Amino acid sequence: MRGLGFVEHGGLDRLQFVDVVEPVPGPGEVRVRIRAAAFNHLDRFTLGGIPGVPIERPHVLGSDGAGVVDSVGPGVDGWAPGQGVLLNPGLWDGTCDACRAHEESLCRNYRIVGEHTQGTATDFVVVPARNLHPRPATLGWPEAAASPLVFQTAWRALRTTGALRAGEQLAVIGAGGGTSTAVVQVGKLLGARVVVAARSRAKEETLRRLGADDFVTFDADHPLDRVLWQASQKQGFDVLFDSVGAPTLPKSVRAVARGGRVVVIGATAGPLVEVDVRTLFWRQASIRGSTMANAAEFQEVLAHLAAGRLRPLIDSTRPLEQGLEAFHRLESPDLLGKVVLTVP
């Protein structure tokens, strides 16, 4: 079967359609006929090559997918061909200490579909049966594919890792990304005052519609830390969500409230930062890392999606044949939500 991916790691010029063998479900696994797949910034990193993550090539990209159960492997109960599903891209072994404590995203052997295994930008994907969930009636195929990775990440990052409580102030750095557009919604749902800080006003209207109470911009003349401090009404933020990294994180930290939490889930623009630790100990603040979510958190956020309280923002939807153009959209400064592929 044909999928969008690469043979050699590298830049966007390495992205191509590849031929891979149709996967067959093993014990406990299910094969899903993909109807829609969605990209994440992770796919860009996987294409480039992630140190310490050797993968089989040719490789098909895509962590997010939704589709129809096609066949089930030995020992699978409860799933039958024809059922509409979305998949949780987090893969855990189910046997280590973390898994036994129901902290699946802390699994010693944690992996992600499309990063460590063949992905969803193709016709069929095989995943463990426990990774499947019925597609909520509130979500069409593109929305069902666009939701799982970003919303589970946003949910754990704010509710668990950030311990965000109603009435607190949340700052989100960056406006148009898949995770930022999910985090704004989750922050609002949890009852926070949500402020988005971005490099331009272009995406303000959309982000306010998603729930942002305020929208501020920063540049060389208006440094992020000062802009945030003013926007927090000179209190500092209880939680700052920063997935940008090097250019912003040191300044985000300077805008943390006493007892506040800076949550990092990624470093899109660079991983190495210098932070003034005096801010951390004097304000008794912390920088906390978060990745994906455990199985219970996935169920919780899925319930909010099913009830219509959360909804992915979709930047664009294209058929798989236009996958190259779709992927390039991830690099666009205009990106506003999730990039989705449909598989007819």
Give me the residues that bind ligand NAP (CB under 6 A), please. 40-42, 45, 149, 153, 173-180, 198-199, 203, 243-244, 247-248, 265-269, 291-292, 330, 333, 335
- Judged by DSSP in three states, 157 sits in helix
Least distance CB 99 / ligand NAP (angstroms): 17
d(Cα 175, Cα 197) in Å, to the nearest integer?
7
> Does position 93 bind Zn ion by CB under 5 A?
yes
Least distance CB 69 / Zn ion (angstroms): 25
Q: For residue 304, how many other CB atoms are within 10 A of its CB? A: 17
Least distance CB 192 / ligand NAP (angstroms): 18
- Judged by DSSP in three states, 36 sits in strand
> Does position 292 bind Zn ion by CB under 5 A?
no
Distances (CA, A) of 308 to 86, 188, 312, 319: 16, 14, 10, 26
Nearer to Zn ion, 107 or 244 (CB): 107
- Edge-to-edge strands of the sheet including 2-6? 16-19, 2-6, 59-60
Q: Which of 20, 38, 99, 195 binds Zn ion (CB under 5 A)?
A: 99
Least distance CB 98 / Zn ion (angstroms): 5
Least distance CB 76 / Zn ion (angstroms): 20
Nearer to ligand NAP, 248 or 317 (CB): 248
Phi, psi of 342 (to 5 degrees): -105, 145
The DSSP line for 158-221 is IIIIS---TT-EEEEE-SSSHHHHHHHHHHHHTT-EEEEEES-STTHHHHHHHT-SEEEE-BTT
Nearer to Zn ion, 55 or 96 (CB): 96
Least distance CB 301 / Zn ion (angstroms): 21
79-97 burial, b if ≥16 CB within 10 A, otherwise e? Answer: beeebbbbbbbbbbeeebe
Nearer to Zn ion, 94 or 250 (CB): 94
Cβ contact 212:145 at 8 Å: no
By a kind-dependent CB cut-off of 5 to 8 A, residue 176 interacts, out of Zn ion, ligand NAP, none, with: ligand NAP
Q: Which stretch binds Zn ion (CB under 5 A): 14-22, 81-89, 100-108, 164-172?
A: 100-108
By a kind-dependent CB cut-off of 5 to 8 A, residue 107 interacts, out of Zn ion, ligand NAP, none, with: Zn ion
Please work out the total of residues on this chain that contact Zn ion, with binding judged by CB under 5 A.
5
d(Cα 250, Cα 255) in Å, to the nearest integer?
9
Tell me the sheet residues that pair with 61. Answer: none
Q: Which stretch binds Zn ion (CB under 5 A): 53-61, 79-87, 89-97, 329-337?
A: 89-97
By a kind-dependent CB cut-off of 5 to 8 A, residue 96 interacts, out of ligand NAP, Zn ion, none, with: Zn ion
Cβ-based neighbours of 152, under 8 Å, separated by 6 or more: 88, 90, 292, 293, 297, 298, 301
- Closest residue to Zn ion, based on beta-carbon distance: 107
The DSSP line for 118-131 is --SSSSEEEEEGGG
Nearer to ligand NAP, 72 or 87 (CB): 87
Report strand pairing: 256-264 vs 237-242: parallel
Least distance CB 190 / ligand NAP (angstroms): 18
Nearer to ligand NAP, 20 or 117 (CB): 117
Least distance CB 65 / ligand NAP (angstroms): 15
Q: Which of 107, 126, 224, 326 binds Zn ion (CB under 5 A)?
A: 107
Nearer to Zn ion, 92 or 237 (CB): 92
Angle between helix 178-189 and helix 148-155 axes, rounded to 10 deg: 50
d(Cα 183, Cα 151) in Å, to the nearest integer?
8
The residue ranges that bind Zn ion (CB under 5 A) are: 92-93, 96, 99, 107
